[in-house]
Structures are given as C-alpha cells and as structure tokens.
Amino acid sequence: MAQPTPGDVHVNAPLTNVSIAYLQKRAAFIADRMFPNLPVMKQSDRYYSYPKGNWFRTEARVRAPGSESAGSGWTVDNTPNYFAPVVAVHKDVDDQIRANADAAIDVDRDAAEWVTQQLLLKRDLDFKSKYFGAGIWSADVTPAVLWDAAGSTPIDDLSAQIQAIQSTTGFKPNKLLLGAPVWYVLKNHPDFLDRIKYTQRAVVGLDLLAQVLELDEVLVGEAVQNTAIEGAADALGFVYGKHALLCYAAPAPSLLQPSAGYTFSWTGYLGAGPAGNRVKRFRMEQLASDRVEGEMAYDMKLVAADLGVFFNGAIT
C-alpha cells in the first residue's frame, strides 16, 4: 500500500465558498406586485367609497329657456376600514453556536435570510387567502374546456371575462395572476403560439402574453410552501396552484380611483419600511444569544369585488 495515503495528507473540511440552502427568489413572491401598496401612518383607519351606480347614469336633461338645470348628486360610504396587524417571527443566534461555527457558516446572515423568507412566504399566503380563491370575487369561472385539454381556448376565455368586467364597471382589467402550473401550460399553448409566430420571438414570454391580452402585466406566482409540520416528511407544492386571477388594479393609490384591491402598510410603526416591514437584531442576555426578529404590518383589502374574476381550476 502506497504511503502516505490521501487521508494522511488531507482532512476534509467544509468549503468556504459554497453552501446549499433552498432560498426562494424574491421574484417568486408576488403579494407586493399585484395591487397598489398604500403606506399609512396609523394601524387602523377608515376610507371613503363612492357607490358605483351614481356615476354610471346621467341626470342631464334638456334645459328650457328660463328654467333651472337638472340637479342630482351621489352618496358616500364612510364605513370601509382597514386594520394592519403586526406579523412577526424571530431566530435566536446562540453565542456558543456562533463561536463554534465553521468559516462557511455565517449564522447571523443565515438568521436574517431565514426571517426574511418566513415573512415573504407569510405575506403571499395571506394574499392567497384574501384574493386567490373561490367565493371572493363577483364571478368565479371554470373554463368549459380546461386549458391543458385539446380544443381549449384560453385567449377567448380570458377576453370574454375582460369584456364582462369592463362592461359592468367601466374599467378594463389590466393584470393577470397565474399559478405557476397554469403558466407552464399557457406558454406552450397553440392558442398563444399561433398569435406570436410572426413576431421576432416565437416563444411566449410574460410580456408577449400581456400584449396579446392587452394587459399591463402578467404575473406568475411561483412561491412554494412546505405544509408539513417540523420533523415530518416535506409536503411541498406551489402556493397558487392551478388557478388564475384577472382584475383591474389601479396604477397607484389615489383619490376617486377604484382598484380591485389595496394593501395598507403601516409605515408609521416605529420606522417600518414601505411594506410595513422591519428587521431588528438585539441582545437576549438571559439566553446568551442575539435575536434576529422580523415584523410586517399590513392589511390586504378586497376593495371592489366586481373588478376581478377568479378562474377556479383552469387546468386539470
């Protein structure tokens, strides 16, 4: 046997320039991209809503000489309100763990990343609960022929709902949110490919899909959740599943501007960021640890149910 052996001259040690962690990309989370974010200074408040019907009929009449003009007006609802609860999570970094960690492990960095991922996933799950489900919007639709079946017509199905919303609200839907499995079907669907085959790019991208449907933006919810409890076998799956949401979202919060939804973010909460978010690190001397704690304070409000339609089970 040749001496020395490989084990005599090298002892395996963790690499300092590579490690493996399943950090989801920020772009996978869409809760802050679908509806306008409205920074608010107070945790709760009210806002005004003008009933739709008053603005879609005319009281204008022919005015006879010497007579008054026709007069009318509108009503205002001051009961809508929001409340932004604080969502929080923390990770303690023990002094002994930090002191004993190898060079490849930065426990403080990892704790901050973990806390951030927790909050981003929680926010998308709240978005799904508020907006992305049956019985939430004025209309739920299941395509007569599901979009992954032969003979399906997703463009016609989506266009019909765009027209339906516009005809009853005066606002044309401008955003489409697809669950990741739905996007993987549509990007290869002949209904779309046939319409772009003469363009320079014969592959459906989100921007081309938006152009075909005359929308401002198409989003894909790619967030993945593990629904298993800690210690059990992982149960992983897409958060947004096999569904889609078509709606009108205002470009930005403003007066006299309808929107299917708004996110009220409590930025007045002790220096919170624009999404009502903050990450702190402080000493827990009684635990001989540093605590990395993240918080978000927001309320996702369904503002106008008639400005959206939910495609419930768009594919098999």
pLDDT tens by residue, 173-208: 999 999 999 999 999 999 888 888 766 555 668 999
Q: What phi and psi, each to the nearest 5 degrees, are found at residue 198? A: -100, 5
CATH superfamily to which 39-48+80-311 belongs: phage-related protein like domain (3.90.1690.10)
| In contact, 74 and 51? CB cutoff 8 Å | yes
Say how far apart CA 180 and CA 128 lie, in whole Å: 14
pTM for the full predicted model = 0.88
Say how far apart CA 75 and CA 62 lie, in whole Å: 24
pLDDT of residue 74: 78
pLDDT of residue 16: 45
Handedness of CA 158, 184, 30, 204 (dihedral sign): negative
Handedness of CA 313, 236, 37, 178 (dihedral sign): negative
Buried b (16+ CB within 10 A) or exposed e, 147-172: bbeeebebbebbeebbebbeeebebe
pLDDT of residue 7: 56
Peptide bond into 4 cis (omega under 30): yes
Q: What phi and psi, each to the nearest 5 degrees, are found at residue 292? A: -105, 115
For residues 220-228, give the mean pLDDT. 96
pLDDT tens by residue, 151-174: 999 999 999 999 999 999 999 999
pLDDT tens by residue, 49-87: 888 777 777 888 888 898 888 888 878 888 899 999 999
Residue 234, Cβ neighbours under 10 Å: how many? 8
Give the start-to-end residue ranges of the domains of the chain. Answer: 39-48+80-311
Tokens standing for residue 98: 């930090």
Say how far apart CA 11 and CA 298 lie, in whole Å: 51
Query: Per residue, what are the HEC states of the chain?
Result: CCCCCHHHHCCCCCCCCCCCCCCCCHHHCCCCCCCCEEEECCCEEECCECCHHHHCCCCCCCCCCCCCCCCCCCCCECCCEEECCEEEEEEEEEHHHHHHCCCCCCHHHHHHHHHHHHHHHHHHHHHHHHHCCCCCCCEEECCCCCCCCCCCCHHHHHHHHHHHHHHHHCCCCCEEEEEHHHHHHHCCCHHHHHHHCCCCCCCCCHHHHHHHHCCCEEEEECCEEECCCCCCCCCEEECCCCCEEEECCCCCCCCCCCCCEEEEEECCCCCCCCCCEEEEEEEEHHHCEEEEEEEEEEEEEECCHHHEEEECCCCC
